Chains A and B, each alone.
Chain A
Amino acid sequence: MAKSTVLAGLEIGTTRTVICVGEVSKNSELEILGVGTYPTTGVRKGKITDLTQATVSVEAAIKDAQSKLNVTIWDVTLAVSGGPIDFSVNPGIISLGDKRITAEDVAYVTSLAKENKIPDECELLHSFEQQFIVDDQPGILNPLGMQCKKLQLDMMSVYGRTNQIANLQNVAEKAQLRIQDMAFSSVCASMVTLTPEQRKNGVVLIELGGGSTNYIVFNNDVICAVGSIGVGGDHVTNDIALAFNIVNAQAEEIKRAEGSALVDADSTGPRIQLPQEIGFNQRSISRKALHSVINARMDETFRVIRKMLVDSGLLPHLGGGIVLTGGGAYLNKVSELAQNVFNIPCSVASLLPIKGVEKLENPASFATAVGLVTFAWEGLKTSKKQGFWQSLREVFK
């Protein structure tokens, strides 16, 4: 590249809209310049409920980024999250007689595997190669040159609902942005938080967002499962609001200031005073009651994911543990709760050493946004589309 290239990633979250800007220098080094943020309206559970309001949030985030970072943003990579995000695995199978596998054979079986029928009204987001199976021997990463009678490639297709994706696109376009690419948010977050060792040993990244909880599972350096549940930090806030008969804004403040995902010795502290409201005397609530409400919701959310991992047989293969990202990762003692539920080690994500990320406050909450820029950068490195998917696989090596 003759001059530096500006890349931007847009995440329209339920709570917050984030636009992350990075720059690729002449010697092909990516640097994160910073982020622009703005509280989101018009989005519930990761889905657009009001195009106009969501557009206003995006425009404000762009303005914030442009003014802080002295850049102009036109092109973005757009994050897709919020349910349902689902996947299916399709095998592509060819019979070779008994010969050595060539590049053409690999290309052909790849094309067959990609002919994955996804549900109507859904749109394909990603295709990930999982494994080659050579004569019923699984776990083959590179079959070139191997003697083979039957070659199979398992391809995972990740997809989301067409209308929801279209709504996200509409919002970005109404904000005068061009969409270069789209990606599932957890895929992006995993690119900037998980080490090769974690991906090899087996790890689940759980993204605790405001409107949804997303996850991605790796094992043997292969993406094994992805998913999204329409439950997030907003549900915790809503539970608090209904339990104590307070408005959501107040519930959100209390959650952040006094909340805890565990009910333990710290829950027996002094009562929490609520600000006096019009027509009501000053009230206080039990700290233990607050922690109980939060614990119930977070415990259930983790157990839903746990059930999915158990049903798919993946839970015993998570030697790398659990990594938490998103704003919810900063809820007090949430990683301890996850550890209790999954019975494996859990930690809040820290971003891989990409230049510029040290400037970000609460970096785990920006994992998706930074990941989008990285995703865009990886896409730029590859010129051909079929090569891109291979390149993406290369990212996880």
Chain B
Amino acid sequence: MDTTEKQTGLLLLGIGGGGCRLVSQVVKRTAHDIRAICVDTDSQTDRQDVDEADRVPFKLIGGSRLSGHGAGGDPIAGRAAAQDDLANLLALTQDIRMVIVVTCLGGGTGSGASGEIVKKLHDNGFTTLCLVTKPFAFEGKVRKQTADRYLPMIEEHASSLCVISLDDLFQETGEDILERALAAADKQLCECLALLWKLLYRSGFIRINSENLHNLASHGGHICMGYGCAAGEGRAKGAVAALKQNRLLQRGETLSKANALILGILAGSDLRLSEIGEIMADIAALCPANCDIQMGTVQDESYSGSIELVAMVFDSWTVVREQPPIATDIPVRVNPRAKKNASGGSKLGFGPHGRGRFENVETTTFQGEDLDVPTYVRRGMTLET
């Protein structure tokens, strides 16, 4: 692993057939500079329909249980398969602080395994940014019910969550020919993730601080990702207009309620400072006055003549604006759910006076004592070290 990854500790994790396919596309767009792993119960996924050179490291889960044949659309089998290999998966996360999990709900592995894996990552102190897709309406009631049933399990433990309806995404492409629609949808999704990585690691006029992303993701909430692009005269305003009209951002409604926004501007070397100013002014006008907007640029000659915008909107939870300095490289174990509190501030104490996992659960009291606080604390016991 190169020095860049080591410093920031970002991992892209695809789960299930759909998730693995998307991750492969992202890796291809970032020229393999991003650390990524694909996880599935189907050993066929390892082929990933790509060239050998483009293949992403693959981890088969539930091999002893399912023999590499896949979960067969059964999320319970997917869940059990993940439980079989959680320890092995964790071993792949050396030097990692944040995991971006990509999965497509509706099937067996994507639905069943994702919740278990995200929970394991959460329990081990990782920040998880989850991007999940929900199946098309035409895929049927069963897949929809499976997706609806298992999404809350991911939501419970994910630091941040982005849910994308495939119906919305494909309508956004405006394409009817299947192949073109698939390519356009992949471009939107994968370009968003790839651009995010480029904003963090590639050279550009302004880079996004990885610590800021980590902080935003760990504070939790629902994320919406949107995409807009334009070329030629007035491309700056055109790109913003396209972004505003993006169905995934509910045609600008999400922007109007954003607490925080990461905006990536992808353009060639012909990007002008005035265009950046135009873009930022238009975006600021769409967002609330107190929205924390962080912008980064990536310059890539293949995008000369056009501007692409990717927005990651955090629209649910309160964002802490002042970052405490981080003195060391040791990953800080922050429980993101501690921040998920409408009144602001963490209620979870990691010290002995906290209630641990019984935070946010009805208290058990006996004769005025809170029994959820550890007994050894209330008895004032000193433990042998």
Residues of A within 8 A of B (CB): 41, 44-45, 47, 49-50, 52-53, 55-56, 59-60, 63, 83, 229-231, 234-235, 238-239, 241-243, 245, 247-249, 277-279, 286, 288-289, 292-293, 296-297, 299-300, 304
CB within 8 Å for A245 and B123 given contacts A49-B361, A238-B374, A296-B376 = no
The distance from the CB of A284 to the nearest CB of chain B, in whole angstroms, is 10
Q: Does more than half of chain A's interface fall in helix, strand or loop, or is it mixed?
A: helix
Partner of A56 from the list B149, B375, B381, B383 (CB cut-off 8 Å) is B149
The distance from the CB of A298 to the nearest CB of chain B, in whole angstroms, is 9
Contacts A59-B76, A243-B352, A292-B384 known; 13 new A-B pairs at CB < 8 A: A56-B150, A56-B153, A60-B76, A230-B364, A238-B358, A239-B374, A239-B376, A242-B350, A245-B350, A278-B125, A296-B376, A297-B376, A304-B371
**Nearest residue in A to B332 (C-beta to C-beta)?**
A279
Q: Is the CB of A242 within 8 A of B374?
A: yes
Q: Is the CB of A247 within 8 A of B150?
A: no
Q: Is the CB of B366 within 8 A of A304?
A: yes
Hey, what's the 0/1 contact readout for B344-385 against A, CB within 8 Å counting as 1? Answer: 000000101011111001101010000110111101010111
The distance from the CB of B146 to the nearest CB of chain A, in whole angstroms, is 10
A-B contact count (CB 8 A): 112
The distance from the CB of A310 to the nearest CB of chain B, in whole angstroms, is 13
Q: CA A55 – CA B384 in complex, angstroms?
A: 42
CB within 8 Å for A45 and B364 given contacts A52-B149, A278-B94, A279-B331 = yes
Q: CA A238 – CA B383 in complex, angstroms?
A: 16
Q: CA A62 – CA B125 in complex, angstroms?
A: 33
Q: Is the CB of A292 within 8 A of B371?
A: no
Q: CA A66 – CA B123 in complex, angstroms?
A: 32
Looking at chain B, what size class is its interface with the partner chain? 35 or more
Q: Is the CB of A248 within 8 A of B76?
A: no
**Nearest residue in A to B116 (C-beta to C-beta)?**
A41
Q: Is the CB of B364 within 8 A of A231?
A: yes
Q: Is the CB of A288 within 8 A of B152?
A: no
Q: CA A292 – CA B384 in complex, angstroms?
A: 9
Q: Is the CB of B124 within 8 A of A238?
A: no
Please, which residues of chain B bring their CB within 8 A of the CB of A52? 148-149, 152-153
Q: Is the CB of B366 within 8 A of A44?
A: no
Please, which residues of chain A bring their CB within 8 A of the CB of B366? 229, 304
Partner of B356 from the list A63, A242, A300 (CB cut-off 8 Å) is A242
Please, which residues of chain B bring their CB within 8 A of the CB of A279? 330-331, 333
Q: Is the CB of B149 within 8 A of A45?
A: no
Q: Is the CB of A296 within 8 A of B381?
A: yes
Asked if B93 is at the interface of the complex by the 8 Å CB criterion, the answer is yes
Chain B, 121-173, CB within 8 A of any chain A CB? 123-125, 148-150, 152-153, 156
Q: Is the CB of A53 within 8 A of B152?
A: yes
Please, which residues of chain B bring their CB within 8 A of the CB of A55? 149
Q: CA A59 – CA B375 in complex, angstroms?
A: 36
The distance from the CB of A261 to the nearest CB of chain B, in whole angstroms, is 12
Please, which residues of chain B bring their CB within 8 A of the CB of A247? 123-125
**Nearest residue in B to A293 (C-beta to C-beta)?**
B376
CB within 8 Å for A293 and B374 given contacts A44-B361, A83-B364, A241-B356 = yes
Please, which residues of chain A bring their CB within 8 A of the CB of B375? 239, 293, 296-297, 299-300
Q: Is the CB of B361 within 8 A of A45?
A: yes
Partner of A296 from the list B148, B354, B356, B379 (CB cut-off 8 Å) is B379
